[in-house]
Chain A
Amino acid sequence: MLTRFMLVALTLLAAVFAPSAQANPETREVTLRNGMKVIVRPDRRAPVLISQVWYRIGSVDETNGITGISHVLEHMMFKGTRKVPSGEFSRRVAAAGGKENAFTSRDHTVYHQQLAARHLPLVLELEADRMRNLVLDEAEFKKEIQVVMEERRWRVEDQPGSLVYETLVGTALQAHPYRIPVIGYMDDLRNLTIQDVRAWYQRWYAPNNATLVVVGDVEPEAVFKLAEKHFGSLKPSVLPVRKPQTEPAQNGIRRVRVKAIAEEPTLTMAWRAPTLTDPEREWVPYALDVLSGVLHGYPGARLHTRLVREQRIAVDVDAGYDGIGRGPSLFMMGGSPAPGRTVEELEAALRDQVRLIAQEGIRPEELARARTQVIASQVFARDSISHQAGMIGNLESAGLGYRSESLLLQKMREVTPEQVQQVARELLRDDTLTVAILDPQPLPAGAKPKAPPSGVRH
């Protein structure tokens, strides 16, 4: 999973507009003796469940030369253990009617299956097996690394928006490993070895670096028993110390341009912003959340109304902030200028919107609307068990704990107009801003769509 700009707002919704603990009173957790945490939320609306194993290992733990290795290992996790041959994991889950996949982010690597609730023993047995018994065969690796390079071409190399995002983050952050793209640099992928991957697996895949999340038609006690049966005998590891690698202060605006095939330019602005670490005492992350909501969080919010509808400076606008994670956060705004308008005009217009809030604050009905979205999204999110499991896992991975769900929600609702004004005034300053522009390059001649050949049908 590449966390791209458009996804930031969604992640934010997932993290903050969480179902309250009150609404799901039954969520339970235990920690096995080997340090593995198990969290279970019964949701009995349908006889199905989602099971997710979260490893706290992602690109944030990587170094130059082996970027992308966590994601490559994710691919290799389907390539066989001593007991379960390559491809067999997917075949068994499919034969049980399951849907399964995995994703890697900056903070974690997650393996998930959705299937009929009675098949939980099958997936726990398989997951426990590959937590410690992966084969990591070199021939399989040589094919799979090709697949990962195809994935990078597909997600990044041929996607102007992804190239811009990769460059933007690599510019905004210069020391913290959040600057590393999750999928890795192509040259690192080319030079990665099976020995690298084996060492990574040995170092990080252990019960004391994993959390099992199960949401669905289950009894917590039964899940705990099953988890103990399958994972309980796995030995814990001594995990390496993770250093903070705190990003130094930014003292001045940074600007980058990326050339790629496109019709129109785009503009993306990213301000350094705090990450939530103390959900009880901090307020700035919540105020930034509400600020992004007032700018772009509901139909008719400020950016779209002013820039797209009224001034017609932009064809599209965006804003988002994700304050949940293991590393530094960014507050982002951006968009595509309307034909005949420039990225400079768009940048000035976006800054005007921030300045307006910094100077005049927000109207009560805007705050009310932002809050209403919080309440409604909280209810809507409960229709999806995978959404619920994702939220639990995200909060655990970020070190906040799933129990902070309701607190986050309450804190969001307590944000005042003055706090929103204050963060607009004090945090969105030029000295901590990075601006990336997509500089569109024309397609070479001959690459335009042609009329279809006539006469091939009758």
Chain B
Amino acid sequence: MKNTISAELPKISRRKFLVVSAAAGGGLALGFNLPFGVGSAAAQSAAEAAEVNIWVVVKPDDTCMIRIARAEMGQGTLTGLAQLVAEELECDWNKVRTEQITAGQNLARKRAWGDMSTAGSRGIRTSHDYVRRGGAAARMMLMQAAANEWNVPVTDLQVANGVISHAGSGRSTTYGKVAAAAAKLTPPDPKGIKLKDVRNWKIAGKPLRRLDTADKLNGQKIYAIDLKMPGMLHATVKNCPVFGGKLASFDDSKVKGMPGVKGVMKINDTTVAVVADTWWRAKKAMDALPIVWDEGPHAKVNSASIAEHLKSGLTSNDAFADIDTGDAPKAIAAAAKKIEAVYSVPFTSHTPMEPMNCTVKLSPDKAEIWIPSQSLEASLAALSSASGQPLEKCEAYVMDLGGGFGRRIGNQDVVRQGVAIAKAFPGVPVKMVWTREEDQAHDFYRPIAQCRLSAGVDEKGNLAGLHLRVSGQSINAFANPAAIKDGKDRRQLQGLWPEPHDAQIGYTHANLRTEYAMRNTHLPVGPWRGVNTNQNGIFLECFMDEVAKLANRDPLEFRRSLMSERPKHLAVLNAAAEKAGWGKPLPKGVHRGIAQFMGYASYSAAVAEVSVSAKGEVKVHRCVFALDCGNVVNPDQTAAQIEGSVAYGMTTLLSEISVANGRVVETNFHNFRVMKIAEMPKVEVVLPLTHDFWGGVGEPTICVVVPAILNAIHAATGKPVRSLPLSKQGLTLV
């Protein structure tokens, strides 16, 4: 998810701020105790606790509060970051607690905690170094404080589990006892700290239990949607169902007298809000509110017209070539055997389980927001611009997200709406919650795409050339046009890039061309877990199976023949194949498919085992994954992310976002079918780590889930699946 941060962010990073001592006050002002990880850092750190450095606060009872600057949305980053700090801190893991910092605190301290955005599978891979140095620096300061107290050289001391000991004298002390003295010492230069060899880790790298599970089992966890504050009001909104349309009028006389209703208001050109004393009453009044929409210029657009628009990009002359090695079209034309195919992948929605929401309180001298945000600093910036309060008078508190998947990153639409409503109720906290229907109808969808692929093979079954043309909507064109250089939006070719380290194509060939033709629609689009590796993984990896079949070659062996210059891709492909038992007999009717792809600096491969009944019922029995993310901080949570990517990916076999009369057709789970437990295959994971880089975990594997399954369906039925969802092929998932 590159380049997705709100354009408002750079403004705040350049600004200088004095320490605002009140920055953390909002957590206390709630009037009830927030659980760990919810309140502000200063609210959590009691007066007697010592801030050894920005990452580590130690209490007299030896509790180590580890500060977290990234959002937790289920992906386990909170636990992983704590493991990394604790590893270098040498504290007792059983005494670790975490606390989330606020965006205002980060700004007040000149962004000491660094980037707070949680996107692009970067939560750990871009912060592991400085959080480990933070843990190590705190350990050094705590040990120095003990050495000073005992008047012995620090080199004579040892530490384990938060207990510092001096072998010569037999003395020992604990972190809690020396923390106050340690906090007064000059911190060591972080750059001079030597970090532990990853292979010697004791806390990081281990499958430790998550720190945030307990409250998720008994109803005690407070999500943003659960917040309660004295005097709070509740709001819901309705946005013009047709993108590009506007709110024409509404008749509030019909609902103003309904129980609990406090206000009905236009909050921007496209949105009406109802505010009431409870959310249910607001929702009921909204349902009863007569609204007239000016549907605008796109009211006749539908999925068929969008498909035609994209189709034009498959053969147009406005595309650019990204890889253009040799002469692929000429080589294909001259080949002994040729194949051409067109693939298409529809829009889809994020649909996190917790609907969009935020709570905003606007006071004369302060603007506050509580929000499940993947980019808390962007939320703060949007709060400031929408409320008119300067940044130093704004505060944003992150609430752990009930799912994110990319929906809650760059576009702060929810913040602007929440602020617009709260302006009508100064000093009153107003919680705005969208219905599921609004969430479905007003997402920033995964972009729609088509792809024309052609290839030739020679008499020996070797690839003669491969030509790939993607035509589809650009995320950057919608969200971040400045990222498009010279009119070439390379981001839409993610996973097909020639350069190494991030999302490199796994194959090399003398005649290879990749192209992209931009075809935008009126739907808003955005990053969706795995972003463009999803579509591109399907296009390339499913077509590879079609070419292998044309060449009468095994799909695994055919791929290997093109991967000699991609050793890391190849090693992961081989690991998945070996773990899955590629080539070994399967039960009757069960077929395998394989795929490999790269994204988020990690290498992924999958093997799926699938059967297809005569009635077209597809059963995915087992999926085997190999992931090389370089280093792994918690292998059990890494496995959990891979398991989750299976379900999130497989839902695209079942559902799509389609368009009729300019609006989204799929309004709730009855017509946007989400995969359930009965359809979930067994998942097995192997991590062939190479330890010489840091790759992402949350997103990399999703791009191989669907192509591995589609290739297994192809193996089972003899027919390639070139468009989704499966219902377009007369297939269903069981």
Does B bind A? Answer: no
- Please list the residues of chain B having a beta carbon within 8 angstroms of any beta carbon in chain A: none
Which A residues contact B (CB, under 8 angstroms)? none
